């Protein structure tokens, strides 16, 4: 049973999760308070006979099924890691516990360098840094300090999973001078028990997309639907498949799909329904906010996006992906090299992403061949055939037609090849006409008028 399944089975609602987390955190905070008190007394030799701080046993969480306790067990966090974790949480929970670090060094009329810490622009409390954690753990012991430094490697589980974030360092300044903070996602998970959905912003140029439709509403050719079903199987059972066939050594956890075909054929709806059926949120990436003409900015924007998604179970959906994933140029101008650099960076980030990435394009040939080789699935979404168009017409409008006009739907389906998106536009226009005419039904004549409008958009006539 994984982390989320354990929590769901023990804490069925967010309110009880929050209470359980509060109880766990209260005990952890009391333990942390003892650590600060003892470290300060030992460091200033106020009570030199005290035992070292690592003799202060961390609270026993073995029978605790809060999100906080479960994370500690699942990641096998030891005493030093628990110290780092609770220190990162303290500014959000009990910021006053860190006020002791504002103590001034009388010899220099300034704070103590060994305490570390930063001052916020608005937050009046003490913001801990890596130096603060090292001081609490090691004090004056160089041996302990050097051992503790190994935990600040990017491969350490707390940083690799995105639980703790180490701020950006300035050039030529020590690594531990960076702020030590909890990520937004884990802050919410370990306090309220709820996963936070990020809002669209310049730092996260993606939007959660949802639908009221269900899987059975998806009308696709059987060949396309079979391929989509395989993607869904991977989403719901990928870990089980890797383990059962012992493929973990050869295959990465990530999965990349290309949906291609004419506009309105269901590519976006399929991506959303894959998320809905697997219980995963789908975020549509705003490419206009990602791509920049300035060198390095596109890569920076992509890095921000993938860094936030790296440890989250999300589906990233890139619509009209050829704008960013297009073919590389063979030229040797500065612009060509810049564009090729973007594509190469994107290849690397997508290949390393452990989740699902879906790219959608109307034009398959516009996608760079280097990307095509890296897709696990390339699924074609054609214009619906006659039977599928009839099924779509019946689904969209069947209940609202006069009884004697149902046979005409077959004529419309046969006469007018249209994508589902265009058919929805037709139904919208017909519904407006019915409302204007105060008609109790939507008629086939109204549908034909809407079809005529759609065909004019494409330069066709009825």
Angle (deg, nearest 10), helices 79-93 and 130-138: 130
pLDDT tens for residues 28-69? 999 999 999 999 999 999 987 888 898 999 999 888 989 999
- The 3-class secondary structure across 226-290, one letter per residue, is HHHHHHHHHHHHHHHHHHHCCCCCCCCCCEEEEEECCCCCCHHHHHHHHHHHHCCCEEEECHHHH
Lowest-pLDDT range of 129-143, 218-232, 324-338, 411-425: 324-338
Asked if the model's pLDDT at residue 336 lies above 90, the reply is no
Q: How far is CA 26 from CA 23, 34, 89, 90, in A?
A: 5, 13, 12, 11
Closest CA to 313 of 1, 4, 26: 4
User: Is 91 exposed, middle or buried, given 0-12, 13-18 or 19+ CB atoms closer than 10 A?
Assistant: buried
pLDDT surpassing 60 at residue 111:
yes
pLDDT at residue 329 in the model: 57
180, 168 contact by CB (below 8 A):
no
Res. 310: pLDDT tops 90 = no
Between CA 307 and CA 84 the distance in angstroms is: 21
Contacts of residue 35, defined as CB under 8 A and 6 or more positions apart, other chains included, come to: 53, 56, 83, 136
Res 83: pLDDT = 97
What percent of the chain is predicted at pLDDT more than 90?
A: 54
DSSP state of 442: -
Residue 326 pLDDT level (bands cut at 50, 70, 90): low
Inter-residue long-range contacts of 394-402, CB under 8 Å, 24+ positions, other chains counted: 395/217, 395/219, 396/423, 396/424, 396/427, 397/427, 397/430, 397/442, 397/447, 400/434, 400/441, 400/442, 401/441, 401/442, 401/443, 401/444, 402/441, 402/443
DSSP state of 324: H
pLDDT (mean) for 209-236: 94
pTM of this structure: 0.73
Ramachandran class of 459: left when φ > 0, alpha when ψ lies in -120 to 50, beta otherwise: left
Report d(CA 431, CA 54) in Å as an integer: 72
Strand duo 315-318 + 110-111: pairing: unpaired
Return the axis-axis angle of helices 420-436 and 444-457, rounded to nearest 10°: 130
Other Cβ atoms less than 10 A from the Cβ of 130: the count is: 25
- pLDDT bin (cut points 50, 70, 90) of residue 333 is low
CA distance 324 to 322: 5
Pairing of strands 180-182, 164-166: antiparallel
Q: Are 204 and 305 in contact (CB under 8 A)?
A: yes
* Burial grade of 277 (CB within 10 A; 0-12, 13-18, 19 or more): middle
Check pLDDT > 60 for residue 1.
Answer: no
Rg (CA), the chain: 29
DSSP state of 83: H
Domains of the chain: 3-191 (no CATH), 206-380 (3.40.50.300), 386-457 (1.10.8)
Cβ-count burial of 155 within 10 angstroms (0-12 exposed, 13-18 middle, 19+ buried)?
Answer: exposed
Pair 181, 165: CB distance under 8 Å: yes
Q: What is the mean pLDDT of the chain?
A: 87
């Amino acid at each position: 049973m994984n982390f989320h399944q354990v929590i769901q089975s023990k804490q069925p609602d967010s309110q009880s999760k929050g209470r359980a987390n509060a109880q766990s955190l209260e005990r952890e905070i009391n333990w942390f308070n003892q650590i600060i008190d003892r470290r300060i007394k030992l460091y200033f030799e106020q009570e030199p006979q005290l035992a070292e701080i690592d003799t202060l046993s961390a609270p026993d969480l073995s029978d605790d099924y809060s999100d906080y306790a479960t994370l500690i067990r699942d990641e096998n966090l030891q005493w030093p890691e628990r110290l780092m974790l609770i220190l990162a949480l303290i500014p959000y929970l009990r910021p006053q516990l860190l006020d002791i670090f504002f103590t001034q060094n009388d010899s220099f009329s300034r704070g103590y360098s060994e305490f570390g810490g930063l001052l916020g622009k608005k937050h009046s409390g003490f913001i801990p840094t890596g130096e603060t954690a090292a001081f609490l753990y090691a004090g004056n012991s160089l041996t302990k300090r050097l051992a503790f430094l190994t935990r600040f490697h990017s491969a350490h589980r707390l940083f690799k999973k995105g639980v703790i974030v180490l701020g950006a360092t300035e050039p030529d300044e020590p690594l531990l001078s960076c702020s030590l903070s909890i990520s937004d996602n884990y802050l919410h998970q370990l306090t309220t028990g709820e996963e936070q959905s990020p809002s669209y912003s310049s730092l996260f140029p993606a939007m959660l997309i949802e639908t009221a439709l269900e899987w059975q509403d998806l009308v696709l050719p059987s060949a396309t639907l079979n391929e989509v079903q395989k993607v869904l199987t991977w989403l719901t059972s990928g870990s089980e498949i890797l383990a059962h066939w012992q493929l973990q050594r050869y295959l990465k956890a990530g999965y990349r799909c290309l949906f291609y075909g004419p506009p309105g054929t269901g590519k976006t709806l399929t991506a959303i329904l894959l998320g809905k059926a697997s219980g995963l949120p789908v975020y549509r990436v705003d490419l206009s906010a990602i791509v920049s003409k300035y060198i390095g900015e596109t890569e920076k924007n992509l890095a921000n996006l993938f860094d936030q998604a790296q440890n989250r179970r999300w589906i990233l959906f890139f619509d009209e992906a050829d704008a960013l994933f297009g073919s590389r140029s063979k030229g040797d101008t500065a612009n060509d090299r810049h564009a090729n650099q973007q594509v190469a960076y994107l290849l690397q980030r997508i290949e390393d992403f452990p989740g699902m990435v879906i790219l959608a394009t109307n034009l398959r040939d516009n996608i760079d061949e280097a990307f095509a080789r890296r897709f696990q699935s390339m699924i074609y979404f054609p214009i619906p055939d006659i039977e599928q168009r009839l099924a779509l017409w019946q689904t969209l409008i069947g209940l609202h037609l006069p009884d004697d006009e149902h046979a005409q739907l077959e004529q419309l389906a046969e006469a007018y090849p249209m994508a589902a998106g265009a058919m929805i536009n037709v139904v919208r226009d017909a519904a407006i006409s019915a409302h204007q005419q105060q008609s109790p039904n939507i008629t086939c004549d109204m549908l034909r008028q809407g079809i005529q409008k759609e065909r004019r958009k494409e330069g066709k006539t009825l």
